[in-house]
């Protein structure tokens, strides 16, 4: 009787372990492994947060770029690093969630995500996917839809560490050096957001340490601009 009871208990234990594994896999598939820092982006348009920060992004899994330290991130170094072609159409592609590219023989996927905070925590993005966290380059893309043309806006960016940002294919901001992420650390010259679709593209490089960024548009007085939406549902169209 005791032997039978042990067998039953052992079988129940195995079933319980398998059930936990299935739940864990399902959580990874639906983006829960990135919680509490990210949630999967939905098809509904998303407004900037109350301070104007853009939280919805397409993020590419990190590209290997070994650096022993961040003091090497001069303007010329990061321009060379970001102008290197890692995957086809890297300055023009607006991918879909799940699209994949191959970089140096490694397959990397794009993820459409909403950051839960004002800043996009790239270190948590990488670690949540069990990807490389140090000595990396991250690419980020989002699409802003404006109800009307907006002139004389400025792109305000903070990043850890160095980064470059483009609006509709034109360079807008460069942040060089070994940086901590500070809100509105660098601000672009006056820019124009077109009526309809506008593509923002960024690249962040880091050696050791945490990686993250925050992006918003501000007006001439430094006030956040919030009367537009972000929608990745038709990102690749």
Question: In whole numbers, what is the pLDDT of the chain averaged over residues?
Answer: 88
Average pLDDT over residues 154-159: 98
Q: Are strands 136-146 and 63-64 parallel, antiparallel or unpaired?
A: antiparallel
Q: Cis link prior to 185 (omega < 30° from 0)? A: no
Closest by alpha carbon to 134, among 190, 207, 196?
A: 207
The beta strands (E) that lie in 18-135 are given as: 38-40, 56-60, 63-64, 100-103, 106-115, 120-121
Apex 40 CA angle, 39 and 45, nearest 5: 105
pLDDT of residue 30 exceeding 60? no
97-113 per-position pLDDT tens digit: 999 999 999 999 999 99
In order of 4, 87, 100, 103, 172, the CA distances from 109 in angstroms are 49, 12, 4, 11, 26
166-196 per-position pLDDT tens digit: 999 999 999 999 999 999 999 999 999 999 9
CB 161 within 8 A of CB 201: no
Q: Which residue has the higher pLDDT, 19 or 225?
A: 225
What phi and psi values does residue 23 have, to the nearest 5 degrees?
A: -65, -40
List, in order, residues 6 or more apart from 122 with CB less than 8 Å away. Answer: 59, 62, 138, 204, 206, 211, 212, 213
Distance in angstroms (rounded) separating the CA atoms of residues 200 and 181:
19
Q: Which residue has the higher pLDDT, 93 or 32?
A: 93
Distance in angstroms (rounded) separating the CA atoms of residues 162 and 177:
6
Q: Which residue has the higher pLDDT, 18 or 3?
A: 3
CB 110 within 8 A of CB 58: yes
In the Cβ-directed half-sphere of 130, how many Cα atoms lie within 13 Å? 2
Residue indicated by tokens 């959580």? 27
What length does the chain have? 237
User: For the chain, what percent of residues have pLDDT higher than 90?
Assistant: 79
The dihedral built from the CA positions of residue 235, 138, 172 and 185, taken in this order, carries a sign that is positive
pLDDT at residue 24 in the model: 39
Closest by alpha carbon to 111, among 123, 103, 100, 127?
A: 100
pLDDT at residue 75 in the model: 93
């Amino acid at each position: 009787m005791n032997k039978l009871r042990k067998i039953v208990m052992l079988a129940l234990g195995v079933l319980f372990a398998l059930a936990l594994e299935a739940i864990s896999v399902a959580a990874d598939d639906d983006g829960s492994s990135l919680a509490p820092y990210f949630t999967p982006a939905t098809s509904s348009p998303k407004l900037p947060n109350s301070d104007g920060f853009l939280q919805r992004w397409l993020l590419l899994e990190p590209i290997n770029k070994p650096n022993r330290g961040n003091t090497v991130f001069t303007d010329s170094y990061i321009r060379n690093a970001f102008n290197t072609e890692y995957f086809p159409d890297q300055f023009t592609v607006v991918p879909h969630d799940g699209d994949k590219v191959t970089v140096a023989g490694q397959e990397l996927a794009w993820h459409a995500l909403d950051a839960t905070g004002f800043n996009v925590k790239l270190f948590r993005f990488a670690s949540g996917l069990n990807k490389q966290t140090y000595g990396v380059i991250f690419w980020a893309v989002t699409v802003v839809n404006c109800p009307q043309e907006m002139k004389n806006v400025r792109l305000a960016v903070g990043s850890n560490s160095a980064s470059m940002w483009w609006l509709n294919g034109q360079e807008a901001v460069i942040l060089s050096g070994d940086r901590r992420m500070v809100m509105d650390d660098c601000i672009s010259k006056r820019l124009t957001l077109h009526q309809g679709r506008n593509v923002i593209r960024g690249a962040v490089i880091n050696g050791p340490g945490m990686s993250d960024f925050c992006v918003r548009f501000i007006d001439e007085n430094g006030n956040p601009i919030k009367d537009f939406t972000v929608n990745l549902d038709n990102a690749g169209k």
